[in-house]
């Protein structure tokens, strides 16, 4: 009797599982059928692998996409676990550029009118502010639009992995504003939303200097990152703020005698330190699904000689 009950329970479990599978397939087929060809989709399969491309068609068994590098990829529908529709960033870029350009132009005209009363108006300043507003607005609008995405189908709501993490080590030349170009070693952590390409990163670098300490330094920065596309070679841009500290070298100063305190010639070590905005860019080159190499450049410019240009290459691991 117990054995019979177990058989009935197993049969019921199989029937329920089959019913769930049968219910999911029409939902997925209907969802894909409502999407026009050419729409950019991000598809995750049962193994967690992700394929991003433009929809070609969907049959009863296969979902066909064209990836950014022109390859045609067919994903079996019964292995699809999640489908996300990516929004184009083009409209957000143009809208942001229009708003930013208008704000920059208005600010430039207002400042030009103010300084014109003092005899120092400049049309070039107006154009510079308008161009700056156009560029900043385009970047902000594009990033904001790129973060928009719609989950079309999700068979496993608890499926993790919306963000891809990575760590890397880097060697670079850090050309400081004082003319030094010492070598630096650094490490970083980054997380990027796999569907939108928007993420964040933190960097720490230690710079080696000369025997007298000139060029030695330390820096740490935090940035917003945008990764372009899903190809094996993936360009990216970043911007943020950091703290930078550099030994500019020994210097001599003279202190005059004051009362009972004798003067003299003294030596000290100069430092340039402070916060500064930083921008950068480069490309992530995939050596394997987990291993990558990344050439990149960064530029920072603050006050009191806190400025530099970093050129380096890193080796990293992603998950």
pLDDT band at 18 (very low <50, low <70, confident <90, very high): very low
pLDDT band at 16 (very low <50, low <70, confident <90, very high): very low
CA quadruple 155, 317, 147, 77: dihedral positive or negative?
negative
Alpha-carbon span 300 to 176, nearest angstrom: 10
Q: At what angle do helices 123-146 and 90-116 cross, to 10 degrees?
A: 160
Q: Would the pLDDT of 170 be above 90?
A: yes
Alpha-carbon span 171 to 30, nearest angstrom: 51
Q: How many other CB atoms are there within 10 angstroms of residue 226's CB atom?
A: 21
Alpha-carbon span 55 to 63, nearest angstrom: 8
Pick the range with the lowest mean pLDDT from 49-63, 88-102, 117-131: 117-131
Q: Would the pLDDT of 185 be above 80?
A: yes
Give 286's strand partners.
292
* Spatial CB neighbours of 286, under 8 Å, sequence gap ≥ 6: 232, 233, 234, 292
Q: Average of pLDDT values for 116-127?
A: 56
pLDDT band at 198 (very low <50, low <70, confident <90, very high): confident
Structure-model confidence comparison of residues 166 and 150, the more confident one: 166
| Cβ-contact 77, 87 below 8 angstroms | no
Residue 174 has phi, psi (to 5 degrees) of: -110, 95
Alpha-carbon span 296 to 233, nearest angstrom: 13
Q: How many other CB atoms are there within 10 angstroms of residue 235's CB atom?
A: 13
Give the Cα-Cα-Cα angle 192, 194, 198 (nearest 5 degrees): 45
Q: Would the pLDDT of 106 be above 50?
A: yes
* Residue 39 confidence (pLDDT): 84
* Spatial CB neighbours of 1, under 8 Å, sequence gap ≥ 6: none
Which tokens is 273 given?
Answer: 């330190």
* Residue 159 confidence (pLDDT): 52
What is the pLDDT of the chain when averaged over all its residues? Answer: 76
Domains, the chain, in order of start with CATH, read 90-147 (no CATH), 163-318 (2.40.160.20)
Supply the pTM of this predicted model: 0.55
* Residue 282 confidence (pLDDT): 96
In the chain, % of residues over pLDDT 70: 70
* Residue 14 confidence (pLDDT): 39
Alpha-carbon span 292 to 305, nearest angstrom: 34
Write the burial class of residue 308 (CB in 10 Å: 0-12 exposed, 13-18 middle, 19+ buried).
buried
pLDDT band at 227 (very low <50, low <70, confident <90, very high): very high
Alpha-carbon span 101 to 130, nearest angstrom: 5
HSE (side-chain half, CA atoms, 13 Å) at 282: 20
Write the burial class of residue 242 (CB in 10 Å: 0-12 exposed, 13-18 middle, 19+ buried).
buried
For the CA atoms of the chain, what is the radius of gyration? 28
Q: Would the pLDDT of 286 be above 90?
A: yes
| Cβ-contact 177, 272 below 8 angstroms | yes
Which tokens is 116 given?
Answer: 């014109």
| 62-66 β-sheet, strand order | 72-76, 62-66, 50-58, 40-45, 80-86, 149-154
Helices (H), 37-148: 90-116, 123-146
* Residue 177 confidence (pLDDT): 56
């Amino acid at each position: 009797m117990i054995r019979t009950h177990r058989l009935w329970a197993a049969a019921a479990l199989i029937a329920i599982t089959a019913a769930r599978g049968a219910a999911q397939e029409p939902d997925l087929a209907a969802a894909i059928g409502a999407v026009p060809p050419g729409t950019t989709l991000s598809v995750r399969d049962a193994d967690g692998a992700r394929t991003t491309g433009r929809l070609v068609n969907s049959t009863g068994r296969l979902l066909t996409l064209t990836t950014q590098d022109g390859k045609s990829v067919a994903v079996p529908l019964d292995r699809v676990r999640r489908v996300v529709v990516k929004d184009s960033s083009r409209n957000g870029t143009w809208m942001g550029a229009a708003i930013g350009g208008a704000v920059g132009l208005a600010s430039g005209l207002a400042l030009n009118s103010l300084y014109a009363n003092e005899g120092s108006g400049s049309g070039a300043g107006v154009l510079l502010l308008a161009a700056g507003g156009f560029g900043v607005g385009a970047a902000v609008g594009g990033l904001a639009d790129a973060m928009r995405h719609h989950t079309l189908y999700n068979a496993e709501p608890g499926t993790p992995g919306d963000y891809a993490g990575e760590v890397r080590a880097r060697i670079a030349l850090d050309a400081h504003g004082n003319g030094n170009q010492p070598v630096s070693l650094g490490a970083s952590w980054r997380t990027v939303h796999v569907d939108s390409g928007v993420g964040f990163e933190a960097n720490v670098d230690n710079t080696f200097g000369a025997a007298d300490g000139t060029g030695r330094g330390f820096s740490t920065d935090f940035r917003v990152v945008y990764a372009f596309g899903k190809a094996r070679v993936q360009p990216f841009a970043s911007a943020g703020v950091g703290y930078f500290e550099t030994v500019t070298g020994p210097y001599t100063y003279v202190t005059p005698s004051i009362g009972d305190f004798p003067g003299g010639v003294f030596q000290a070590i100069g430092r340039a330190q402070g916060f500064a905005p930083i921008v950068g860019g480069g490309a992530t080159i995939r050596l394997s699904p987990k291993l990558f190499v990344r050439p990149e450049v960064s530029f920072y410019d603050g006050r009191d000689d806190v400025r530099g240009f970093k050129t380096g290459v890193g080796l990293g691991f992603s998950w």
